[in-house]
């Protein structure tokens, strides 16, 4: 598989994970704030189904990362990012081409 293609698939899976985590968080907030499910929207909600999808996506992302490690001729970049609004910095190491962190 081509590196850009893999990166795009990873991005889509990460977005889906974020979306499903938000759904679970909204459901949990609703339950905690009302102590019961009264909203028709949550009547048949299955948290475990979303958790399984999230885990499946994470497993697929890990496989894609392993494929990127094999395919890419890495050009490692060392950089620093600001944390806490510029008060602290953290050094990061990533590939310029496949964007994997090392």
pLDDT at 45: 75
Domain containing residue 98 = 73-102
My answer on whether 24 and 48 are in the same domain is yes
DSSP string, 3-46: HHHHHHHHHHHHHHHHHHHHHHHHHHHHHHHHSS---GGGTT--
**pTM for the structure as a whole:** 0.76
pLDDT at 93: 96
pLDDT at 33: 72
**Which residues in the chain come in under a pLDDT of 50?**
none
My answer on whether 42 and 13 are in the same domain is yes
Within 8 A by CB and 6+ apart from 8, the residues are none
My answer on whether 67 and 78 are in the same domain is no
Q: Name the domain count of the chain.
A: 2
My answer on whether 36 and 7 are in the same domain is yes
Tell me the C-alpha distance between 34 and 24, whole Å: 15
Residue with tokens 């590196």: 3
């Amino acid at each position: 598989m081509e590196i850009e293609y893999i990166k795009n698939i990873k991005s889509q899976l990460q977005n889906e994970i974020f979306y499903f985590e938000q759904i679970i968080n909204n459901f949990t907030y609703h339950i905690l704030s009302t102590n019961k499910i009264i909203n028709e929207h949550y009547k048949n909600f299955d948290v475990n189904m979303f958790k399984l999808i999230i885990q499946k996506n994470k497993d697929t992302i890990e496989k894609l990362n392993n494929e990127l490690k094999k395919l890419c001729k890495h050009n490692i970049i060392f950089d620093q990012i600001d944390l806490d609004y510029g008060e602290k910095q953290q050094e990061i190491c990533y590939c310029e081409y496949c964007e994997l962190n090392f």
